[in-house]
Chains A and B, each alone.
Chain A
Amino acid sequence: DQQVKQNSPSLSVQEGRISILNCDYTNSMFDYFLWYKKYPAEGPTFLISISSIKDKNEDGRFTVFLNKSAKHLSLHIVPSQPGDSAVYFCAASGSEGSARQLTFGSGTQLTVLP
């Protein structure tokens, strides 16, 4: 049972355009959400997070949007750069029980074309 789903395994975007990566979750106990970025042969690297008390968090070119009613979050990268090409993982956690640990989606491979 996948509690965090990234339905697009891959996404290609032109350099300079916006990249939008999507993530859906099913566990209503989740209230803290993160995005990690992973390059080949490296471990995931924390990118940005958002608490359920907010609906938007911005850090430079990266913005995460949270729609609690839809149980959906998205990561916007503007403008996209070739160096952004990587696998992006969405992760979620809650404050109780097994939800306390991070649950990851299966990832989306972003390719930014020059």
Chain B
Amino acid sequence: DSGVTQTPKHLITATGQRVTLRCSPRSGDLSVYWYQQSLDQGLQFLIHYYNGEERAKGNILERFSAQQFPDLHSELNLSSLELGDSALYFCASSLMTGFRTDTQYFGPGTRLTVL
């Protein structure tokens, strides 16, 4: 158990809908990262937050947004969903500002299926 929790574990929805994925980082960790893993692909970095502020963006679609709240939990919002958005979405947390040698601890992921 990494100490990172993600809810829900599974989500099935229809095209055009909007969903929210939730992540609680390990106790004491200030950085939260979101990744997307599509079928047979590696994890693609989406976005990084540190202590409530956005620090870096990867290949995140404009239909996707995220935020980190004062209690440090984070939410990833996916809207106008398309079939291609079906994937595993992982959240990770680390202690510091996202310095690249910080170990990132991953949650178990949310499997999103768009029908």
Contacts and interface: CB of A to CB of B under 8 A. Distances in A.
Contacts of B109: 43
B65 interface: no
Contacts of B100: 32, 93-95, 100-102
Interface in B33-87: 33, 35, 40-45, 48, 56, 58
Contacts of B41: 106
A89 B58 contact: no
Interface string A81-114: 0000000010101110010111111110000000
Contacts of B106: 36, 43-45
A59 interface: no
Chain B at the A interface: SS class? loop
Contact of B40 (A41, A45, A91, A106): A106
B107 interface: yes
Contacts of B105: 43, 46
A26 to B, nearest CB: 14
A101 B45 contact: yes
Contacts of A41: 108
A46 B45 contact: no
Contacts of B92: 43
A4 B45 CA distance: 13
A102 B56 contact: no
B57 to A, nearest CB: 9
A101 B42 contact: no
30 contacts: A2-B42, A6-B42, A9-B40, A32-B101, A41-B108, A42-B108, A43-B2, A43-B92, A43-B107, A43-B109, A45-B106, A46-B103, A46-B105, A51-B101, A89-B42, A91-B43, A93-B100, A94-B100, A98-B58, A100-B98, A101-B33, A101-B45, A101-B58, A103-B42, A103-B45, A104-B35, A104-B43, A105-B42, A106-B40, A106-B41
Given A43-B4, A101-B56, 20 more contacts: A2-B42, A6-B42, A9-B40, A43-B2, A43-B90, A43-B92, A43-B106, A44-B90, A44-B106, A49-B101, A51-B101, A91-B43, A93-B100, A100-B56, A101-B45, A102-B45, A102-B100, A104-B35, A106-B42, A107-B42
